[in-house]
């Protein structure tokens, strides 16, 4: 047999006494499943109405197939099993949710369509319906680093905030430079005014000194008395 693309190889059903068709179906199911690899399994049931065995793949979707590829004479005579392929599975009619939102069904693969779990895919390995349990997802190291980088690189992230702070600091420095230049110009103007005033004062002192020197030179000289011994 081949189930979902996985071959069983040659095998025999176990000889024995079975009390019912259901017991015989259970034996057949166990023998087939022990020969399968991967995740492929089947369920074998006995249909008492039509007096036949029904072999169904436990997977769903187009890849869900059961094919009998070789039988001996007794297999058909005793079990009604003959060469042939069954009806391939389908995704039609299946509905699933992940984290409370709808999920796309593709065979055994369920993929979340929206919300925080969008893109998350889960493979269902067994048949049946209903709640299949809880899966805890961790971002791992790569996800953590990605979150850290997002925090740094986003528009209002750490780098942008730091850059904004530096730019504001540069603007403050520029303002202080303009204020310092204004103070330097004001100090220069004050010093020039003080120097000019001091220079004018010194010029007046020089004029006064020249005037006094001239006046002293014009004063009458005292008489000189010469004595002869």
Query: Which DSSP category does 157 fall into?
Result: S
Q: Which residues contact 48 (CB under 8 A, 6 or more apart)?
A: 21
Query: pLDDT exceeding 90 applies to what percent of the chain?
Result: 21
Whole-model pTM over 0.75:
no
Q: How confident is the model at residue 225 (pLDDT cuts 50, 70, 90)?
A: low
Q: How confident is the model at residue 134 (pLDDT cuts 50, 70, 90)?
A: confident
Structure confidence by residue, pLDDT tens digits, 189-212: 999 999 999 988 898 888 888 888
The rounded distance, in Å, linking the Cα atoms of 69 and 57 is 15
pLDDT at 73 over 60: yes
pLDDT recorded at residue 222: 67
Q: How confident is the model at residue 185 (pLDDT cuts 50, 70, 90)?
A: very high
- φ, ψ of residue 98 in degrees (nearest 5): -130, 125
| E strand or H helix at 66 | strand 66-68
Residues shown for the chain: 229
Structure confidence by residue, pLDDT tens digits, 84-116: 777 776 655 567 788 888 887 776 678 888 887
Neighbours of 160 (CB within 10 A): 13
């Amino acid at each position: 047999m081949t189930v979902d693309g996985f071959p069983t190889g040659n095998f025999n059903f176990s000889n024995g006494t079975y009390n019912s068709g259901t017991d015989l179906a259970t034996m057949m199911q166990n023998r087939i499943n022990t020969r399968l690899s991967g995740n492929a399994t089947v369920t074998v049931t006995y249909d008492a109405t039509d007096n036949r065995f029904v072999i169904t793949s436990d997977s769903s979707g187009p890849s869900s197939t059961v094919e009998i590829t070789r039988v001996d004479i007794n297999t058909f005579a005793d079990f009604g099993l003959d060469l042939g392929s069954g009806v391939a599975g389908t995704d039609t009619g299946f509905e699933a949710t992940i984290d409370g939102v709808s999920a796309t069904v593709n065979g055994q693969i369920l993929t979340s369509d929206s919300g925080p779990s969008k893109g998350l895919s889960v493979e269902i390995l067994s048949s049946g319906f209903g709640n299949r349990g809880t899966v805890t997802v961790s971002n791992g190291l790569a996800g953590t680093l990605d979150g850290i980088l997002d925090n740094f690189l986003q528009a209002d992230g750490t780098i942008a905030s730091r850059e904004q702070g530096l730019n504001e600091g540069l603007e403050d420095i520029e303002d202080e430079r303009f204020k310092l230049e204004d103070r330097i110009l004001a100090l220069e103007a004050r010093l020039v005014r003080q120097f000019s005033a001091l220079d004018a004062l010194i010029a007046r002192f020089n004029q006064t000194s020249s005037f006094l020197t001239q006046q002293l030179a014009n004063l009458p000289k005292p008489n000189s008395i010469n004595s002869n011994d």
